[in-house]
Structure 1
Amino acid sequence: MKILYIQYANPGGFPAAMRAGRLWRAAGHEVRYLGVAFGAGDPLAVAGDLADSCDWVPFGRLTPVRFAARAIGLVRQWKPDWLYIADATAALTCVPLRALHRGGIVYHEHDSPDRGTSLRTQMEWKARNAMARRAAATVLPNGDRAALLAAEAGLAEAPITAWNTPCRDEVGPPRAAAGNGPVRVVYAGSINIQRVPLALIDALAAVPNIELTLIGYETVSSRGHNDRLLAHAAERSCAERLKICDAMAYHDLLLALRDYDATFAALPQDASDVNLRHMAGASNKTFDAIGQGQALIVGPGPDWRQMFVEPGFAVACDPTDAASIAEAFRRLGADRDAVRAMGESARQRMLADWAYEEQFRPVMQLMGAEGER
């Protein structure tokens, strides 16, 4: 079976895209990716074992046209059995493929689009809904977003919910017994005011037995935020307990996470972006962290509590309130052995039935069954 994965982005920035390719290859299928190359400044590289399977369209003013033309060319030349469309922009640029491609289609929405008011966003919205209706299956990483898409597109069947968890071979070994010293908290991801608020620095200043490391990159709209964080830490006399590191390749990040005790993954509940409002299951950083035996600090929403807090894998806080974050820090700092136990129980759950092999199994089964007809 031949599968063409089409994403109007860098697939290397989406670990689930890479995991899907490896699982397909392990099952004996051929996989190719079509993505957008954003140049040497893009910190998210496709993993080496899949790099030879990628076709790239350089980013620029004519990218949508070139992307559509390349997709048409690949379908005509390679004749894939399945198209795996991975975002709303790809759904729009690939509208012509619906007439050329006679095989199956899966629509996997990693990030849900904003309906917006511009002509382009309206066109993407309609194309995404049409692609979801045409697809043999739709896939999303969060149940609430899956329900929204089903309602917006008028789907006859509920989408598949596949959380963005690591595969079993990405899960780390058991952590060593907790030692002395401060509890090491890490945040890994894009660094901006919504995800790394100044309140986080205020909380760090209030709890002296916590060290905080940020691993990531500033987005175009958040340039200068690292400097603001460092300046605020200096004002609050906690700069020696704050470290900011550059983004790193995904495999290197997983190894680096083993040096920390807990991951900060709390997001505000009132975010205007639908993706930020419904991140439980979609957040790579939460699952990457527990796959390496870390405890979590999550937001206060009921979905976060049900998924992580109630099973004993996390503590919750309001990320807009420094006092609430500080209380979460104090709970972790009070008992390092308990922090390690939280992380280990979460790691065991990942190995048992949360791993991506289990999340992606319904998609693999559907594609295999349809391909045999």
Structure 2
Amino acid sequence: MRKTNYPIIFSLLFIITLTSFPSLPEAGKPSDLYSEAAVVIDARTGEVLYEKNAYRTMYPASITKIITTIVALEEAGLSDDVQVSFDAVNVIGSRVYLLEEEILPLEQLLHGIMISSGNDASIAVAEHIDGSVKAFADRMNAFVTEKVGVENSNFTNPHGLFEEEHVTTAYDMARISAYAMGNEQFREIVGTKSLDWKGEGWETTLYNHHDLMRQNDHITGVKNGYVRRSGYTLVTSAFDGDTEVIVVTLNSPSRLFAYNDTNKLIDYSLAEYETQVLSLADEDLLTNHIIPEELAVTTRRGEDIKYEVREEGEIIVTGKGNRKIAHIDLEKRYLTDLPSYIIPSDKETTVVKKQEEPIKKSIALWFILSGFNKVFNR
């Protein structure tokens, strides 16, 4: 991962009218997955590209640490000194072998969580932020509900060790992961393939447990997991040009099967779909509103698209054969904490201009966006 700062391009998750929309293509859709549940979403638009039991309640295992890390990044300081407790040192499962009363910076512990799946580091971070695992779990649940907007998850710990009430869905984890990947610091942490670790107890080199990252340069993260009751769980981000997808597989019978399923879903989704960006900069009637100049939509790969703004305050995006891609009602806009997004490649964004024929337009007042040009600094 490069060390330079990237501008943050905010991704708008629009309320889209779903009725009467033709389905996206099914050609080549995988049908023989080993994983009990799986989903693929466009990281920038949130559109579901594939799903198998995506809304079924499942046990997440260590992909829980995605939430732990993004919560810590947004609600604590990377330079915070974190003191390790007795409870952290004595947790079971994967560890980075912290010592009781050892003090390490939060940033190092987050690397230990996401690269080497340290359960001890997860507890240390949780206790540092909220004083207890229980209080931090409450924060996790509020965070994913209020900031990400998912509703079918319940987290009771920061590491993912099995607890009956510690549950999620493939879809929720995809949405949470897309949100997290919009944070530059998170993206750099999960994109780290190896790290020299120096602690009071030992010095070693940590290697990222997500093995696919060493096999495919288009994979940018994010986390694997396993406990007996959950099976093998895996969240993966992968890109092709300006298109990035999030793939989640849950309860695979082995790590190899999880990787095979994930590779199939990456190949399928990036071959069939792409993210295109509509330019709103030349919309004269939008100049009096504080609005984004670009709108991302998911399309068939290589599909020519266009849009029109209707008198009733709607934007209609269409593709080949006048296929409706999106129906955006400006009068129903409302402001939420929208996830940011970083384009993972050096290629210029594909921008589609509006269609040239005259269109009668009358736009209702949209919403005010604050902090739109946020940039994360080192």
Which category describes the TM-score, using the shorter chain as reference length?
Answer: under 0.3
TM-score of the pair, normalised by structure 2: 0.26
Task: Pick the structure with more strand per residue.
Answer: 2
Which structure shows the bigger proportion of residues in helix conformation? 1
Q: Identify which of structures 1 and 2 has the higher relative contact order when contacts are C-alpha pairs closer than 8 Å and 6+ apart.
A: 2
